[in-house]
Amino acid sequence: MKILHLFSDWKWTGPAEPALNLCVELKRMGHDVTLACGKAMDDYPFPPNSESVEKSAYERGLVPVNRFHLSKHFNLFKYISDIKNLSVFMNEEAYDIIHVHRNQDHLVGGIAARRTGRRLPIVRTNHDGVALKKNLRNKICLNRLTDKLIDVSEEARVADMNRFGLNEDKTVMINASIDCQRFNPGSGPLTHRKMFGMKDDDIVVGIIARIQTHRRFHILLQAIKIASKEVSKLKLLVIGRGTKEQQLLTDPAKSMGLEDVVIHPGYRTGDYVEAVSCMDFNIFLMPGTDGSCRAVREVMAMGKPVIAADRGMLSSIVDDNVTGFVIDDTPENLAKATVRLASDIELRRKMSDASLKKAKDVFSQESMAEKVEKVYEGLL
């Protein structure tokens, strides 16, 4: 099959990685895949030292198309230009399927596909894990410019059906995927523990999140304060950054006497996997910009149990008392779950094995791409 994927942004945002992963895996399966994305700047294919869709695509063996605007934000003149040029491009390249991933590329790509004058199926993936916003644009796109909607959670699929009046056969749930080859338990020494100032016998609980007010760091620190009184070797590893690091993390940790417990190496890029490997288990309290909670799947693929708040689609990823705990995240509940996992090595091992198995069985790129392929085949 010849497939065109559209992504209306240049930034390496939440939905970018799963969209690119799908393109890479479909190409590996033998399909002819093109990714068209927004262009960062006129004088660079992507800004130096930046994270972008283009840059990541090149690194993974794809040559992205950036001749179209595919802007994240509404611009009537850019929309008109993209609709016209995309329609010509789709016909010239004789694509079989158009797959869209964001609201703006759904609208311009959908109209362009309908203007080709041939039956060109349009597939939309909702990467958010929750229903799309109820507005006129989405109503038009889903009812007139979509042949199949893919949701990454069953709750989102049902909500989108009800919200936009979609038939059952127009929607499907396919789990978001991660690269299980990149994210794996590994067998080497935990070199980054020493780099971060941790000892081999420390019990390390980690969190991966932007340091923002709504991410509930105040609850996390209160829980760690309680838990550290019962687990003397407990450490909290915070991977992330934010404009309010001092206000939300550094100063509160100091005032609570947690300077030796909280370790904050910042945002990691080249050694992200090695940093996550330092953790014995993880905490996730609030979905971020990536509503599909990709980081949860990544740590599970590395064999890490997860303590998750009962928010968003976290409870559908983490199986309570199997791959971790799903809790009402009061400081007391979070501290109790933390102490339990920190104190019981056999329980951690059992939940670690279950997390790894679920990641391989349910969240692998291969599994996701095979299901998407079946969607394409059904439409053709």
pLDDT in tens, 315-349: 889 999 999 999 999 999 999 999 999 999 999 99
Residue at 48 is within a domain = yes
Does 50 score more than 80 pLDDT? no
pLDDT given for residue 42 in this prediction: 47
pLDDT at 48: 52
- Do residues 59 and 123 share a domain? yes
The pLDDT of 258-279, averaged and rounded, is 91
Going along the chain, which residue ranges are E strands?
2-7, 32-37, 97-100, 122-126, 148-151, 171-173, 203-208, 234-239, 262-266, 281-284, 306-309, 324-327
In this predicted structure, what is the pLDDT of residue 46? Answer: 52
**269 found inside a domain:** yes
Give the model's pLDDT for residue 270. Answer: 81
CB 113 within 8 A of CB 120: yes
- Residue 189's pLDDT is 61
Quickly state the pLDDT bin for 75 (edges 50, 70, 90): confident
Question: Does 145 lie in the same domain as 226?
Answer: no
What confidence score (pLDDT) does residue 188 get?
Answer: 61
Buried/exposed code over 325-360 (b: 16+ C-beta within 10 A; e: otherwise): bbbebebebbbbbbbebbeeeeebeebbebbbebbe
Read off the amino acid at residue 47. Answer: P
Q: How many CB atoms lie within 10 A of CB 200?
A: 8
Q: Please, what is the average pLDDT of the chain? A: 92
Q: What is the pLDDT of residues 200-216, one digit of tens each?
A: 899 999 999 989 888 89
Together in a domain, 312 and 322: yes
Asked if 204 and 317 sit in the same domain, the reply is yes
Q: Does residue 47 surpass a pLDDT of 60?
A: no
Q: What mean pLDDT comes out for the span 153-177?
A: 94
Could you tell me if 152 and 246 lie in one domain?
Answer: no
Q: Give residue 266's domain range.
A: 191-362
Residue 183 falls inside a structural domain: no
Q: Decide the pairing of beta strands 262-266 and 234-239.
A: parallel
pLDDT at 44 exceeding the cut of 60: no
CATH number at residue 169: 3.40.50.2000
Q: pLDDT at position 43, please?
A: 42
pLDDT at 182 over 80: yes
| Segment 84-142, tens digit of pLDDT | 999 999 999 999 999 999 999 999 999 999 999 999 999 999 998 889 999 999 999 99
On whether residue 186 sits in a domain, the answer given is no
In a domain, 182, yes or no: no
pTM of the model: 0.83
Q: In whole angstroms, what is the distance from residue 115 CA to residue 279 CA? A: 52
pLDDT band (50, 70, 90) for residue 49: low
On whether both 169 and 195 belong to a single domain, the answer is: no
Do 78 and 166 lie in one domain? The reply is yes
Residues 110, 243 share a domain: no
Same domain, yes or no: 6 and 145: yes
346 occurs within a structural domain: yes
Strand pairing category for 281-284 and 122-126: unpaired
Does any domain span residue 150? yes
| pLDDT surpassing 80 at residue 192 | yes
Amino acid (one-letter) located at 257: G
Q: Is 274 exposed, middle or buried (0-12, 13-18, 19+ CB in 10 A)?
A: middle
The amino acid present at 177, given as its one-letter code, is S
Structural domain tally of the chain?
2
pLDDT surpassing 90 at residue 312: no
Of 171-175, 196-200, 223-227, 287-291, the poorest mean pLDDT is in 287-291
Instruction: Tell me if 185 is assigned to some domain.
Output: no
Section 76-82 average pLDDT: 93
Question: 122: which strand partners?
Answer: 98
Q: Over pLDDT 90: what percentage of the chain?
A: 72
